[in-house]
Amino acid sequence: MLRHYSNALHATWIGWAVAGGIPWLWPLLVTLHFFGMALLIGCVGIRDLRMLGLARVLPVGPMKRLVPWGLLGFVVTLITGIGFYAGSPEQYQTLAFAAKIAWILLAGANVIWFYATGLARTVDAVGAGQDAPLKARLSAAASLFLWIGVMFWGRMLAFFSNEF
């Protein structure tokens, strides 16, 4: 069933364009994917590291202004990732891709838990010189671990596929 939908996506104009119909599109997507990851990991990483105790001279609250930028980075990587998949779905039928998607879902679940439990509001009240609550530190550590895992499995795509 996955192959059916993958082939249907590949048969669209997006699949055609990314697969070589527009020669400069793949390199553009790679560049945008990289910038999106840098934006996502940079914004998430700064807040997570502060929750873990780094740069304690800074209050956590103002860092929430980074959240929309991190979300933008995620959206950019999601859109470009779908473009990659549409252009060549056969190269993503690997353990590395399944692991990458699993780690993205786990990172997303961590974010949902962080906001749904009200922990985000508690963390925003953490001032300069204060420590974040233990639950927030655990969520931050999990976040960093999971997003690094996403990047690891994304890099492993080249080693698990004969297509790259």
Question: The domain containing residue 129 runs over which residues?
Answer: 2-160
End-to-end CA distance of the chain: 24
Q: What is the CA radius of gyration of the chain?
A: 18
In the chain, the amino acid numbered 150 is V
Distances (CA, A) of 153 to 120, 146, 162: 28, 10, 16
Q: How confident is the model at residue 163 (pLDDT cuts 50, 70, 90)?
A: low
Could you report the per-residue pLDDT of 1-51, keeping only the tens digit for each? 677 788 888 888 888 999 999 999 999 999 999 999 999 999 999 999 999
Number of domains present in the structure of the chain: 1
* Whether pTM exceeds 0.75: yes
